[in-house]
Amino acid sequence: MKQQERIINTYYSDVMQKSYIDYAMSVIVSRALPDVRDGLKPVQRRTLYDMHELGIHYDGAYRKSARIVGDTMGKYHPHGDSSIYDALVVMSQDFKKGLALVDGHGNFGNIEGDGAAAMRYTEARLTKIAEEDLLADLDKDVVDFIPNFDETEKEPSVLPAKFSNLLVNGSEGIAVGMATNIPPHNLGEVVDATKAYIKNNNITDEGLMKYIKGPDFPTGGIITNKDELPEIYKSGVGKVKIRGKVEVEDAKGGHKLIVITEIPYTMIGAGIAKFLTDVAALQETRKTTDIVDISNQSSKEGIRIVIELKKDADVENFKNLLYKKTRLEDTFGVNMLAIADGRPETLSLKQAIKYNVDFVFETNRRKFTTLLRKEKEKKEVQEGLIKACNVIDLIIEILRGSRDRAQAKACLVEGKTDGIKFKARESKIMAEMLHFTERQADAILELRLYRLIGLEIEALQKQYEQTTANIYRYEDLLDNKDSMAAEIVRELDDIKKQFSRKRRTEIDNVEEAVVVEKPIEEMEMVFLMDRFGYCRVIDVPTFERNREAAETENEWIVPCVNTGRLCVFSDKGNLHSFRVMDLPYGKFRDKGQPIDNISGFDSKDEAVVAVMNRDEIVSKKLIFVSTQSMIKLVDGSEFDVAKRTVAATKLNDGDKLIAVSVLGEGTYLAMGSKKGFLLKIAAGEIPEKKKAAVGVRGMKLGAGDELEAAFFGNASEEKHIVEFHDRHIDLHSLKEAGRDGKGSRIK
């Protein structure tokens, strides 16, 4: 009978909400966040387990990364090869991890941001600590195994980590609506803190910080806010301030070298190149004039970035400038978020250690339970073999007289002698008294004759004694928490002895860097911008020597001072202002920078109408002219604003600004239209408006006509020749007319 369909009516919003929550939880738990117990994300755990299954041991041969990635993707992690290989690469980079879990062979990237080679070129194997302290004892039922994505394989739900890998290696990840950012710590300190917690479960976060001083970044550096660390470790969130380590060396000629030997952890990758660019920018923008040369001399031996300074440079002030203006001092945002008991939780330092310790106790309980069971089974067999050796002649007689294995086993286990041929009646009576267990009987039937040699029997007796001692030890560990704790501490001490290293990151309270800026000497400059929008400033003597070339090659030439600001008016009615100091300063033939890079100007959508000194216009009035012949006067004080971009005037739809000029005594305006009409009016005809106003009509335009030019002149001049419609016209010969006239047509 066909099952009847059942239609469920529900709101679309409810379906979307449930689906998104399910998706978010999947990303949070199954992909992005680490588990507090082993400190690994699923992709990392699966990659390490696959390497373990492939037998890629730390003391064996390397295997192609592509093989590892392909096997992991096919068996456990069907989310694409790039995520698996990226995880493999990061676990091999000792400059990112406190302890590398993968031993990479080949190009696995570097601290300066160069990526790893393709997976077909590189090889990898497990490191010793990963194999012995993360993947050991998986065959002893220490963790639960779960089905993989297609239920064809089994994978561990967590790896049996013997130490807090979450703290030692840290973690970073972005989930849906949350993120984790846990700094790496020193293994020796984490082990000592773990031992302290095992001895005293009531220890506080502050108490644990006697052992864990703070983060220990692989790149070294100096943590400068020591007093804030207790609150960060108590809440699980906060900002760790870290500086690079700077040394001062003497160079030839009395110059000083600023040598950076350690960088903040946040500068790993492209941050080093960005730092070099930022240092160069300090010189270009004249925030300092002390730099002679910059070079990156870093190598496999370590970081070495060298900045050569002038003889008379203030070294301490320059160091502070680096801290303030570059990422040589940066913050690491701590957010100790991890999966605990199946849900995301922000952990304090104590909680992170507690969850790991509880997990280690649980894995050890399961481990020794399994070992105890196996030892008891071994003891049972050994007791049977010892007992069998004492009556070996009888057993041989039973075996020779039995028809098959089943008959012999029945005699050994239950004393059944029916059908068995004995040489003597006494042998049958003794056989009926036998009572071996099933396991003992199987071991006796599989016993090899060489085991009856005297020395072998003695060895069997010693093995039995060792098994008995093991059983006693395992029962003590399982029944006595103090014994189990001592066993865990012993393992931790062994880990510390093998793998710990000295702390790399210093921790201190350091005062905030203060930069004493030298007073800038005011200097007259000349702003140049060519028709392509590239601009720069040069000093006045350089301009005077190259005046002719400058006037020929540049569209805008504006005198200015290095401490001032310039304003660019665009045809869209916008005003873009910027500091003269932000402009590149150099030789006359230097190319300069696009105006777009220095201000909010957009060369793809705007055209320059005028460039002026802001200090000169704020105390004067400006004349605005648009293509629709809208004109007005605006008080320059309205443009004394801090914003980089503001609206300089309001324009009607389809209108564009074509001219802006400073109003002077005796100024007149001549407007020229596309159809050849020219109208000259006195500046007094132009009303003053606010910058947000459209203005008034300056010239009456015919249908389809618009202004294409605006000429500003002064009545005191003898001549004012302009080119209009291929004619040279002296504007002084034109009579002034009233505003809103049609003007005269130029023939």
Segment 74-107, tens digit of pLDDT:
999 988 899 999 999 999 999 999 899 999 999 9
| pLDDT tens digits, 231-288 | 999 999 999 999 999 999 888 888 889 999 999 999 988 788 889 988 988 887 778 8
Instruction: Round to whole Å and give the CA distance between 139 and 469.
Output: 22
- Please say whether the beta carbons of 208 and 349 come within 8 A: yes
What lies within 8 Å, CB to CB, of 177 at 6+ separation is 24
Instruction: Round to whole Å and give the CA distance between 351 and 464.
Output: 43
Nearest CA-CA partner of 517 in 266, 321, 723, 737: 321
In the predicted model, what is the mean pLDDT of residues 113-122? 92
In the predicted model, what is the mean pLDDT of residues 8-20? 73
Confidence of residue 452 (pLDDT cuts 50, 70, 90): low
Confidence of residue 73 (pLDDT cuts 50, 70, 90): very high
Q: Is 163 left (phi over 0), alpha (psi -120 to 50) or beta?
A: beta
Amino acid occupying residue 31: R
Which pLDDT does position 284 carry in this prediction?
76
Instruction: Round to whole Å and give the CA distance between 63 and 56.
Output: 7
Q: Where are the beta strands (DSSP E) in 221-270?
A: 222-223, 237-243, 245-250, 256-262
Give buried/exposed letters for 449-464 (b at 16+ CB in 10 A, else e). Answer: eeeeeeeeeeeeeeeb
In the predicted model, what is the mean pLDDT of residues 448-461? 72
Instruction: Round to whole Å and give the CA distance between 291 and 63.
Output: 48
Instruction: Round to whole Å and give the CA distance between 149 and 43.
Output: 13
Domains in the chain, please, with CATH? 40-160 (3.90.199.10), 245-327 (3.30.1360.40), 363-498 (1.10.268.10), 524-745 (2.120.10.90)
Which pLDDT does position 25 carry in this prediction?
61
Q: Is the pLDDT of residue 201 over 60?
A: yes
Is the dihedral angle over the CA atoms 152, 370, 373, 447 positive or is it negative? positive
Q: Is the pLDDT of residue 211 over 70?
A: yes
Q: Is the pLDDT of residue 175 over 80?
A: no
The pLDDT > 70 percentage for the chain reads 96
Which pLDDT does position 311 carry in this prediction?
85
Cα angle: 477, vertex 478, 480; to 5 degrees: 65
Question: Which residue stretches of 262-348 are H helix?
Answer: 271-284, 315-325
Instruction: Round to whole Å and give the CA distance between 521 and 518.
Output: 9
Q: Is 200 left (phi over 0), alpha (psi -120 to 50) or beta?
A: beta
In the predicted model, what is the mean pLDDT of residues 129-157? 92
Higher pLDDT, 436 or 28: 436
Which pLDDT does position 16 carry in this prediction?
79
Confidence of residue 626 (pLDDT cuts 50, 70, 90): very high
Radius of gyration of the CA atoms of the chain, in A: 42
Which pLDDT does position 67 carry in this prediction?
96
Which pLDDT does position 241 carry in this prediction?
94
Q: Is the pLDDT of residue 2 over 60?
A: no
For the packed helices 42-53 and 65-75, what is the interaxial angle rounded to 10 degrees?
110
Nearest CA-CA partner of 53 in 71, 26, 27, 36: 71
Active-site option among 20, 49, 85, 121: 121
Exposure of 331 in the CB half-sphere (CA atoms within 13 A)? 11
- Please say whether the beta carbons of 562 and 570 come within 8 A: no
The pLDDT > 90 percentage for the chain reads 54
Q: Is the pLDDT of residue 719 over 50?
A: yes
What are 220's two structure tokens?
């070294």
- Please say whether the beta carbons of 593 and 584 come within 8 A: yes
List, edge to edge, every strand of the sheet that includes 696-697.
657-662, 621-626, 630-635, 696-697
Query: What own/partner pairs with CB < 8 Å and gap ≥ 24 does 309-313 have?
Result: 309/255, 309/256, 309/257, 309/258, 310/255, 311/253, 311/254, 311/255, 311/256, 313/256
Which pLDDT does position 697 carry in this prediction?
92
Which pLDDT does position 300 carry in this prediction?
80
| pLDDT tens digits, 650-669 | 999 999 999 999 888 878 89
Q: Where are the beta strands (DSSP E) in 23-92?
A: 63-64
Q: Is the pLDDT of residue 27 over 60?
A: no
For the packed helices 405-414 and 392-401, what is the interaxial angle rounded to 10 degrees?
140
Is 121 a known active-site residue?
yes
For the packed helices 454-479 and 481-499, what is the interaxial angle rounded to 10 degrees?
100
For residue 35, the 8-state DSSP code is B
Q: What are phi and psi of 620, to 5 degrees?
A: -125, -175
Higher pLDDT, 335 or 22: 335
Confidence of residue 299 (pLDDT cuts 50, 70, 90): confident
Confidence of residue 1 (pLDDT cuts 50, 70, 90): very low
| pLDDT tens digits, 536-585 | 999 999 999 999 999 999 999 999 998 889 999 999 999 999 988 888 88
Which pLDDT does position 518 carry in this prediction?
67
